[in-house]
């Protein structure tokens, strides 16, 4: 990677943008009388939440061994993906790289922000071919590379992630939405080494909090400051902030949700071996399986008839359905339907 200067990558209008700053959240008071924000003096949730999310960032700082100034909180990882593109990519001018297949929202927000999307096709095992990567970054002017590991919808972890971070002359966003299921090390430990790196994690998967909508970005202080400049001031509500801290306190040492999911995942994997309509179960480090079926349309429709909702990936990934791990009762019903076909 060439010598890195963040200001060379950031949109000029963002560098000049003055952020919205909540006076009360950026100052300390003992017993303030709050007459500054036109709130109602009545009601259980009448006050705006902390716009800086100090308590949650401090808690994450303690368990991730990283400064609170290197943490940004989003309304789900989706908001953070959108904000990262807004910070670095000029509409109608800059290009974004993503793996293919991968998480569709990278392309969705690239389109919303009027940025060109370049796709790096994976091989038959859903791995990146390094020569293809080097070729595509040579032939395109790229600002951001979204790298999902474990990848959605394929489930596999990307090998030698550091190679792609150090060879990409822009911002590399490693999306670790499923990292807790994989047993792999987080790229958070690479942040000091690579100033162009952003790591995304979420409370929607392993923490069982999809309905709360909280995602986290970890990066350099400079990049986090830029994300905070463009985010909405009160993007995380009080209920979500309080609940996330409560859940962290419960699961900080041992995440039972992950343990139980891995038990169910192992049970499902054994059951899949006895189902005739399954042609292939792809290796996965996530909480879901990518499965190739005989007569995939029939399988998908039969599951739907039984109100078992799955994610059909065909035709992008021919003959394949993505099925995430449920609880034992749900998994038994899935297996019973598949065995009956």
Q: What is the pLDDT of residues 80-95, one digit of tens each?
A: 999 999 999 999 999 9
Cβ pair 81, 173 in contact under 8 A? yes
Rounded average pLDDT over 95-105: 98
Exposure pattern of 46-60 as b/e (b: 16+ CB <10 Å)? Answer: eebbbbbbeebbebb
Give the tens place of pLDDT for each residue, 108-143: 999 999 999 999 999 999 999 999 999 999 988 899
Of 336, 308, 332, 333, which Cα lies nearest the Cα of 321? 308
Give the architecture-level CATH label for domain 256-340: Alpha-Beta Complex (3.90)
Which own/partner contact pairs does 310-315 have at CB distance under 8 Å and 24+ positions apart?
A: 311/153, 313/101, 313/153
pLDDT one-digit tens code per residue, 277-322: 999 999 999 999 999 999 999 999 999 999 999 999 989 999 999 9
The answer to whether the beta carbons of residues 302 and 341 sit under 8 Å apart is yes
Q: Report residue 87: phi and psi, to 5°.
A: -70, -40
pLDDT digits (tens, 9 = 90+) for 185-221: 999 999 999 999 999 999 999 999 999 999 999 999 9
- For 264, counting Cβ atoms within 10 Å of its Cβ (0-12 exposed, 13-18 middle, 19+ buried), the class is middle
Rounded CA gap, 157 and 175, in Å?
11
pTM for this predicted structure: 0.94
Q: Is the pLDDT of residue 2 over 80?
A: no
Predicted confidence band of residue 4 (pLDDT cuts 50, 70, 90): confident
* Extents of the domains making up the chain: 6-19+49-251, 256-340
Q: Is the pLDDT of residue 3 over 80?
A: no
pLDDT band at 1 (very low <50, low <70, confident <90, very high): low
| Per-residue confidence (pLDDT) for residue 24, from 0 to 100 | 85
Average pLDDT over the chain, rounded to whole? 95
Structure tokens at 282: 């792809």
DSSP-assigned beta bridge partners for residue 25: none
Q: What pLDDT is stored for residue 30 in this prediction? A: 86
Q: At what angle do helices 238-251 and 54-64 cross, to 10 degrees?
A: 20
Q: What is the average per-residue pLDDT within 175-194?
A: 97
Task: Provide φ and ψ at 279, rounded to 5°.
Answer: -90, -40
**Two structure tokens written together for 209:** 């909090």
The CATH architecture annotation of domain 6-19+49-251 reads: 3-Layer(aba) Sandwich (3.40)
The predicted-structure confidence for 57-72, as pLDDT tens digits, reads as follows 999 999 999 999 999 9
User: 19 falls in which pLDDT band (50, 70, 90)?
Assistant: confident
**Pairing of β 320-324 and β 288-293:** antiparallel
Name the CA radius of gyration of the chain, rounded: 22
Mean pLDDT of 168-193: 97
Mean pLDDT of 10-30: 86
What average pLDDT score do residues 243-270 get?
92
pLDDT in tens, 34-62: 888 899 999 999 999 999 999 999 999 99
């Amino acid at each position: 990677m060439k010598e890195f200067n963040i200001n060379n990558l950031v949109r000029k209008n963002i560098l000049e943008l003055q952020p919205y700053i909540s006076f009360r959240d950026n100052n300390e008071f003992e017993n303030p009388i709050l007459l500054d924000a036109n709130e109602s003096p009545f009601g259980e949730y009448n006050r705006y939440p902390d716009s800086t999310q100090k308590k949650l960032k401090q808690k994450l700082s303690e368990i991730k061994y990283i400064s609170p100034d290197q943490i940004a909180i989003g309304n789900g990882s989706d908001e953070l993906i959108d904000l990262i593109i807004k910070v670095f990519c000029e509409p109608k001018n800059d290009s974004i790289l993503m793996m293919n297949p991968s998480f569709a929202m990278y392309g969705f927000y690239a389109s919303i922000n009027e940025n060109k999307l370049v796709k790096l096709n994976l091989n038959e095992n859903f791995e990146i071919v390094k020569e293809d990567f080097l070729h595509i970054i040579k032939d395109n002017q790229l600002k951001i590379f979204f790298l999902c590991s474990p990848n959605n919808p394929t489930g596999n972890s990307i090998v030698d992630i550091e190679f792609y971070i150090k060879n990409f002359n822009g911002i590399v966003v490693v999306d670790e939405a499923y990292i807790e299921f994989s047993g792999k090390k987080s790229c958070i430990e690479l942040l000091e080494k690579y100033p162009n790196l952003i790591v995304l994690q979420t409370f929607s998967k392993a923490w069982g909090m999809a309905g709360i909508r909280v995602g986290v970005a970890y990066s350099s202080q400079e990049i986090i400051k830029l994300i905070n400049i463009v985010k909405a001031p009160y993007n995380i509500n009080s209920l979500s902030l309080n609940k996330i801290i409560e859940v962290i306190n419960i699961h900080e040492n041992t995440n039972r949700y992950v343990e139980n999911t891995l038990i169910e995942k192992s049970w499902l994997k054994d059951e899949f071996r006895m189902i005739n309509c399954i042609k292939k179960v792809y290796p996965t480090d996530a909480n879901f399986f990518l499965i190739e079926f005989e007569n995939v349309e029939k399988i998908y429709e039969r599951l739907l008839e039984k109100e078992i909702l799955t994610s059909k990936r065909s035709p992008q990934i021919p003959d394949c359905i993505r099925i995430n791990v449920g609880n034992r009762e749900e998994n038994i019903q899935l297996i019973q339907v598949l065995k009956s076909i």
